[in-house]
Amino acid sequence: MRRRNIYVLIVALSLINIFYNSKVVQAINNEINQSIIVIDKKLQQEEELSIMFTGDILMHDSMMESVKENGEYKFDDLFKEIKGEFEGNDINISNIESGINEERPVSGYPCFNAPKGILDTMKNLKVKVLINSHNHILDTGYQGLTNTLKKLEESGIKTLGAGYPENKKSIVLNKGKIKAGVMAYTYGVNGGNKYKDYINYIDKENIKKEIKHLKGVGCNYLIVYLHIGTEYKLEIETYQKELIDFIINQGVDAVVCSHPHVPRKSEIIKIDNKAVYVNYGMGNFISNQNYKYTDIGTISKIKIGYSEGKTFLKSASSIPVYRLRYEEEKKIYRAILVRDLDKFKEHIYTEDIKIIKKVANDVGFKYTCDKTKSSLKILKNIAPCWEYTEV
């Protein structure tokens, strides 16, 4: 009888081992060809993960000419007044609406092809991820798409939303107990929606599949970037709102958007006792566009917390920025914070400053959550942004 019991025990243990190992193998297989960034815990507390997104960076001809020195493009000065916002974040994610194809001439609108020098500046700004699911990624065709992916790989910057067919187009960010999955999708590309195995196009079923995949590899916080919306329109379209509601109902924790080239509002949506941050349009980070409000944008900052075995939105903010443009010996372009406008008032008309501050007050946003205090909600307008504090 004892021998039989030992035999049964051995068989049971073998079955458990097979089951466990199959799960491990499945988890490993799920992460094959998945971009993963492991973040040093020493940068901040283990229980926090901070991410910053910028709006659109548009490489117009006049802006590129302004930074050209001895045949080389050096973009650092464009961002020197706002560089501090890139400091202290675990991950900076940006969107250059252009390919980088050295087999074709550098060009601006309508067929953007940025010089490789912009990648040097991104690295200097500690940008670790570039979004490539946008409508200009095929401006120089398939060659431009694949050459862009090659240049990013050479530079050590991860691609998000576009990549080789065999690779996942999402990013996983690991820090301590927080494992955040970030996805990116575009409404389309100029010239027709081609190369669907390379580029993430907005499709509800594909978004659902990617959410399931990221949950399957252990992600406990999900963020979606959408390249969506009517250009130069401040108002949020019904189709955008419906899509975002659908995405949130799939379990996504934050959504940030871009493409209209003007800033749109942000808000907190409460679902199942969870606060979901949504920025409906970050607008431009820097460009040479002249349409109304295209010189104003926001950057999105998200801080993820971890408490009682769960992740939560610790804070989120949409910080207003402005594209400063003036002439000295040549045109000067700078991305600056709206709160720093008065430092540069000699280059901006007084009436323009009033308009910029009014728009910034409409689109600026800040949310904080303190789980150490009792339940209380405060909503107050603190110029230049709405501040929503939940404790």
For the stretch 144-168, pLDDT in tens is: 999 999 999 999 999 999 999 999 9
Mean pLDDT of 350-356: 96
* pLDDT tens, position by position, 49-59: 999 999 999 99
* pLDDT tens, position by position, 241-284: 999 999 999 999 999 999 999 999 999 999 988 999 999 999 99
* pLDDT tens, position by position, 25-46: 344 345 558 888 988 765 445 5
pLDDT at 21: 43
Structural domain boundaries in the chain: 1-32, 35-355
- Which residues, including other chains, have CB under 8 Å from residue 225's CB and lie 6 or more apart? 53, 93, 95, 131, 133, 160, 161, 182, 183, 184, 185, 255, 256, 257, 258
CATH 1.10.10.10 fits 35-355, yes or no: no
* pTM higher than the cut 0.75: yes
Q: Is the pLDDT of residue 23 over 90?
A: no
